[in-house]
Structure 1
Amino acid sequence: MGGAAQTGDRRTGAAPRDRRAVLGLMLALVLLVGSDVFQVVLGGGGLSSIIKTALYLPMLALMLFYRHHLLRGLRAAPEVTALLALAALSLGWSVSPYDTLRALVPLLVTSGFAILLGSMLSLRGLLLWLAALSLVIMLVSFGMAAVFAEARTSPPWGDAWRGAFSHKNGLGAACSAGLVLTLGAALMLRGWRRGLMLAGALGLGLLLALSSARSAQLFVLAGLLVLATGAAVRRWRLLWAWACLAGLLATLALGSAVLGTDLALPLFEAIDRRPTLSGRLPLWQLLQPHIAERPLLGYGYNAFWVEESRRVYEIGRDPSLFHEPFYSHNGLIETLLNLGLLGTAMLALAVLRLIRGILRVLPGPAGALAVPFMAFLVMFVLQNVTESYILSRETIYWMIFVAVAARFGILSDALRGAVPAHRPPVGHGATAGGRP
């Protein structure tokens, strides 16, 4: 990954060996904190939580050491920064301050670390780093499946694999993102490096199939379609991007119109799932009155799904559900419950800023590098229809989104002339370059 190496030198001002060590450490930290390796190995419980919490210390140390990168990333993605700040402020109106505070620390640490990563690496370097992370996730998941029977099951889904994650959907989301990113990296590389990425993509595809995560399997097709068409179109990338966005909106609108009707039955039969989206549709209906009770600011971050609360008890006992839920299985609804309309508006602005950044990069010399990230963005939006990865603490999927948002925010500012393309090193060898 020579391209990433050269990029790293310009970004950190460190010697190549030191830079590789830093990026390797960051990869290990994201893997161990963003997955559930310790939970699978140790069987859950307090020890795995203690180990994960201890890993916050090196993450915080790196954020402090490269604080100029962190601050630049925070400024370049103001809506993400505001969303995180709102989550912190929600401690003041949370219906369960203890649960909000307990979840807030990992959210801020992992999100801040992702912002640091997006600020430190170039666009090419970020793509290759994320592809390398995906390869490691694949190898660790296969290794754990070979050693631990728990990694090859995902109760109550029987023999659905979960690999290095606590649930099959976690493995499915990581593999779907990794599949697109490794294939995107393969388009940028040559020789044995390209072969490595293609082999990794095959492994990730196999893991995705073994996870039986139907949503991830379905939505990765959209990501692969975006990636394939983007790689084929060169002179008309802006038109291609607008077509992708129009297709995404049309898919969301069509899905909203046909879900819960007989028109959707053939699709559910094809993917071997219930027409209720495994109980999601009745759950979303049950949550509407609760959203209306606190529409502006929500219940506070991570405060709604308190097991002891009467509202959760009543939802879980509703006859239309066949399980007791602990989250909404929808990113938009979960954001409304957490931070209300204000938080949802900030999220929408963050997505729009990322789209604007991609559109600004596409016509330029780094346009090909933006294609895999457009594919990831399409998948991220679709995945949050049936799952919730928005503001999800200790989750690789959310960390990827935050890192990508920070990187494209920096590039967008540089391209419109708000900041210089690159500056002299500022403290600890940090540079503020806006180059792709």
Structure 2
Amino acid sequence: MRIDEKAIKKYDNLLEYLLLIIIISFFSRAFVIHISGFFGIWMLNNLWASLHATILLLIFTKFKWIRLNQFANHAWVLIALCFISVLWSDDVAVTLKRSILLLSSSFFGLYLGYRYRVIEMLNFLMYLIFLLSLIGLLIYPILPEYVVMPAGEHAGIFRGIFNHKNFLGRINILGIICALTLFDARKLNSFNTMLFVAFFIFCVLLSKSAGSLLILIAVLALYVVLSRFSLRSIDRRLIQFILIIVALLVVYFFVDLLLLLGKSPTLTGRTVLWGLVLLEISHRPLLGHGFSAFWSDETRLLSQMSWDAPHAHNGYLDIALDLGVVGVMIYVIGIVLSVRKAWMHFIIKKTSTYLFVLLFFGFTIITNTLENQIFKENDIMWLLYIFTLVQLGKDSSKKTATLNNNV
């Protein structure tokens, strides 16, 4: 019996795309809370375990030639420090478990970086984000209780199929970055780009997240600035559209922005939290409390606050809590070098790849002033962070190979 290699490859690619949809959806926190609610936490834990087992299988079977590229070195040093922090962790079991999950998540980012080009990945992400957000909108008229925030301070606010309204806002800002980069790469025309951007902005507004709004305005402004350095022919209508949207958002939500920056003036309680976190960091400043150990008891600061904080609402402070000043310095030096490299290549080459890298790093840096998304297992931000570092490293590897061939 003759084996049809083309058919096998076709089904293999289809299976791979299905797997990508499932993993990235989970890493975006889509359907997670619903599965937990319907089937229980045991089912959710089993699904996460299955996904990570699949990731490791992919790494060890499909990509024997994958290597830890030079430009992701600081990320691997941070991960190694997470494992070593077991030695002084406040909660050894949590630190070890989450370090393993972080390593597995990083491996998947590595896999994506070597398997796909930037434009391929962004095209896939944009349509997936559009689909996930659209599903939530379609469910709302039929079963609104499944797509809004439950009882509490944010009760009734639309969150779609995500765990929280902030995840809805964050993922749609990422969708905007994808759409704008694809437009710059001439993979989307100006009309379709405006449609996608308008849809994603609509979803951000539905989340009623003032933090997401502020990040959205910053990302759009950063794109307008970066586009002026591009040698590509930029459609002025799109730039004008973005500027008008930014202006309208600033004017219409001016009071909300003031509340975000002032809420009497504690950033919705964040400044009080940050003060307490800084005090805890001062107790163990050098190496921290161990990766993910401090917040393993979410009520740790509850007696000193009026609300239950699951994290520091600042990614940099959370790294300091976990890995001390050493961890923060490793991360900051790494991202500064990465941004510098991306900027130099963007100025010289004017390519869409480096436009995305700069937009994503800008998005990451801004987001992590209000939330904890820098250094987290099972999270799309860390996944794309590794993916982006791999793309930078691949460029360096190509340059090195060219130089060696010329010798």
Settle same-fold status: TM greater than 0.5.
yes
Q: Aligned residue for 2:199?
A: 203
Q: The residue matched to 1:362 in structure 2 has which SS?
A: helix
- Per the alignment, residue 139 of structure 1 pairs with 134
Tell me what 1:240 maps to: none
Structure 1 position 186, deviation (Å): 2.7
Partner of 1:325: 309
Find the counterpart in structure 1 of residue 160 from structure 2: 163
Is the 1:350–1:405 contact (alpha carbons within 8 Å) kept by the matching residues of 2? Answer: no
Task: Decide whether the 8 Å contact of 2:71 with 2:393 is kept in 1.
Answer: yes
Change (3 A) 1:270 1:51: closer
Uncovered stretches (5+) of structure 1, i.e. residues with no partner: 1-13, 237-263, 424-436
Conserved 8 A contact 2:31-2:161: yes
Aligned partner of 2:379: which letter? T
Question: Which residue of 1 is the match for residue 293 of structure 2?
Answer: 303
Closer, same or farther: CA 197–117 of 1 in aligned 2, 3 Å:
farther
What is the rounded CA distance, in whole Å, between the counterparts of 2:64 and 2:338 in structure 1? 21
Match of 2:49 in 1: 53
**Distance change in 2, residues 1:270/1:46 (3 Å):** closer
Mapping of residues 23-422 of structure 1, within 5 Å:
23-43=17-37, 45-68=41-64, 70-73=66-69, 75-145=70-140, 147=143, 149-153=145-149, 155-190=152-187, 197-235=193-231, 267-269=257-259, 273-307=263-297, 312-313=299-300, 315-318=301-304, 321-365=305-349, 367-414=351-398, 417-420=399-402
Query: Cα RMSD (Å) of the superposition?
Result: 3.0
Amino acid in structure 2 at the alignment position of 1:118: G
1:383 is displaced (CA, Å) by 0.8
Contact 1:223/1:378 (8 A) holds in 2: yes
3-state SS in 2 of match to 1:35 = coil
How far apart, CA to CA, are the structure 2 residues paired with 1:168 and 1:67?
37
Q: What letter corresponds to residue 295 of structure 1 in structure 2?
A: P
Q: CA deviation digits over 1:55-97, x for unaligned, max 9?
A: 2222121111234454244x44101111111112211221110
- Deviation string 1:201-244 (CA, Å, 9 cap, x unpaired) is 322211111111211111111111121232233259xxxxxxxx
> TM-score, structure 2 length as denominator?
0.82
What do the CA deviations read for 1:123-166 (whole angstroms, capped 9, x no partner)? Answer: 33233233233233323433454545232225431222222321
Q: CA offset at residue 268 of structure 1? A: 2.2
Question: How high is the TM-score relative to the length of structure 1?
Answer: 0.77
- The Cα offsets for residues 29-59 of structure 1, whole Å up to 9 and x where unpaired, read as 2212442413224415322222222222221
Taking the aligned partners of 2:368 and 2:259, their CA distance within structure 1 comes to: 22
**What is the rounded CA distance, in whole Å, between the counterparts of 2:341 and 2:178 in structure 1?**
18
Q: Displacement of 1:198 after TM fit?
A: 4.1
Tell me by how many angstroms 1:117 deviates: 0.7
| Offset, 1:189 | 3.2
Q: Which moved more, 1:355-364 or 1:106-115?
A: 355-364
How far is the alpha carbon of 1:290 from its aligned partner? 1.2
Alpha-carbon distance between aligned partners in 2 of 1:56 and 1:208, rounded to the nearest angstrom: 30
Pair 143,87 (structure 1): closer, same or farther in 2 beyond 3 Å: farther
Kept in 1: contact 2:30–2:132 (CA 8 A): no
Distance change >3 Å, CA 302–CA 136, structure 1 → 2: same
Q: Displacement, 1:15?
A: 5.5
How far apart, CA to CA, are the structure 1 residues paired with 2:177 and 2:397? 26
The answer to whether the Cα contact below 8 Å between 1:296 and 1:342 also exists between their aligned partners in 2 is: yes
Tell me how many residue pairs correspond in the alignment: 373
Which secondary structure does the structure 1 equivalent of 2:67 belong to?
helix
Q: Aligned with 2:361: secondary structure? A: helix
SS of the residue corresponding to residue 400 of structure 2 reads: coil
Q: Separation in 2 of the partners of 1:221 and 1:208?
A: 11
Kept in 2: contact 1:111–1:402 (CA 8 A): yes
Displacement, 1:329? Answer: 0.4
Task: Give, in whole Å, the separation in 1 of the partners of 2:63 and 2:404.
Answer: 17
Following the alignment from structure 1 to structure 2, what is the Cα–Cα distance between the partners of residues 149 and 107? 32
Alpha-carbon shift at residue 184 of structure 1 (Å): 1.8
Amino acid aligned to 1:135: F
